[in-house]
A and B are shown apart, each in its own frame.
Chain A
Amino acid sequence: MLPDHATRSRMSGAGKIGLAALTLTGCGGPQSVLNTAGSDARVLLTMLSVMLVGLVIIWILVNGMMLFFNQLQTGAHEERYARYLIVGGGIFFPTLVITALLVWGLSIMPDQRAPGDGLRVEVTGEQWWWRIAYWPEGAETPVIAANEIRLPVGQRVEFDLKSARVIHSFWIPALGGKMDMFPGRDTRLSLEPTEVGIFRGQCAEFCGASHALMAFHVVTMEPADFDAWLAAQAAPAMAPDGDLARRGAAIFAEQGCGACHAVRGSDASGQVGPDLTHVGSRLSLGAGILAPTLANYMAWIDHTGDIKPEVEMPAYDHLGDDELTALATYLMGLK
């Protein structure tokens, strides 16, 4: 169901990502805290490693002690040792360890919430997809996209997080921590990608029937590639190329898809569902859950609700296979 993912392969240029070329590398896959590609995530990983070592040592000491007193010791010890044990193990040792850990933990908090360097990305959680608007520094109007986030490496990006109806949580494990998205309350997050690659993010706060199916891809790019890509995204949609695609565009119009979806440069200007202007350039379909193949496009339009329970988009199961093929071809052509 999910497209091949992968991480950390150098990319030649914007918009030319061949999925087949990507391989699964690194530790734990595309959505892993352990597979870091951002400065915040790296700090958290260091912290995790140190705490994990401490955890293992303390666990062995405490349980070793219990095992010894339970099974191995031959006779009772003197009572004053017991008092040393309680004061030393119960008060002194934890106070020292925890003070150090707390100071360290607190000290990294301001950095993790540092203000961004210019680019702002507004992400709105919908049931169950992501509405995305890029606001480059000084921009008056945003570049609208959906269900995929591309970021330039080497700069801190600010995320303005909102939600339409229910609470969601925005999370890209490879880049840093997560932040909840509330209706009627704005939250913010800032992340600094440091490595080029393709990663996966997912909604972390339970948000209804298809909570499990609300993901997105994150593509980190060299700044120049990113600028080129963003300029391409800002442009209106390409005209349908070929008869099949043109027929698809006609079906798109006559089925009323434009009431919910926008395809900039055509009559479709609906705001209810994801913007489809460049849907064909995205790495996934249905908010990070399907590989963008012709078959998947057709299946999605044909029976949305079976793939994503309780989704708002109706199933267009009255369309024949040839109509679905045309529609899918048109959409896939919207690079």
Chain B
Amino acid sequence: MSENELNHDEFGTGVGTLMWITLAPWIWAFHFTICYGLTAILCEKAIPDGDVGTLRLVLVAVTVIALAGIAAAGLSGWRNWTEGGLLDKRGETGLGDLASRNRFLGQVSVFLAVVSFIGVVFVILPILMFGSCR
């Protein structure tokens, strides 16, 4: 085997690296689940017609953390995307070498971070706009 022989840890480096690009959407998913779950439990069990002030505070805090996480995922993706070269290399994600593959994974992470960011912002809108569980 030649120069780019890798450690064949299929489970860790293999799928692990591939899953890494989905970090931002996973954060979206967790954020979504927390928002939905907490609201469902509180509105059913605690405050059916009451004030949602505390819930709002908690979910806004969760959202800030989620957005920070997505931003970090996007930033790390950005580094991979632009690594080893200037911005003008950006387009070359389709070459048959290791660097190009890394740039591609970085680029997809950035795009997914953008979409996840929008998704999280959308999901927090109702809790900001509604005052009760009705």
Contacts and interface: CB of A to CB of B under 8 A. Distances in A.
Contact of A102 (B122, B131, B134): B122
Contact of B118 (A95, A103, A106, A110): A95
B114 A91 contact: yes
Given A102-B122, A113-B134, A107 B129 contact: yes
B126 interface: yes
Contacts of A106: 125-126, 129-130
Contacts of A102: 122, 125
Interface residues of A, number: 11
A113 B129 CA distance: 14
A330 B71 CA distance: 76
Contacts of A110: 130-132, 134
B4 to A, nearest CB: 30
Contacts of B130: 106, 109-110
Interface string A68-95: 0000000000000000000000010001
Nearest to B49: A115
Given A99-B122, A106-B125, A113-B134, 15 more contacts: A91-B114, A95-B118, A102-B122, A102-B125, A103-B125, A103-B129, A106-B126, A106-B129, A106-B130, A107-B129, A109-B130, A110-B130, A110-B131, A110-B132, A110-B134
Contacts of A95: 118
Nearest to B91: A79
A99 B118 CA distance: 9
Contacts of B126: 106
B116 to A, nearest CB: 13
Interface in B82-134: 114, 118, 122, 125-126, 129-132, 134
12 contacts: A91-B114, A99-B122, A103-B125, A106-B125, A106-B126, A106-B129, A107-B129, A109-B130, A110-B130, A110-B131, A110-B132, A113-B134
A296 B132 CA distance: 49
B93 to A, nearest CB: 13
A109 B133 CA distance: 11
Contacts of B125: 102-103, 106
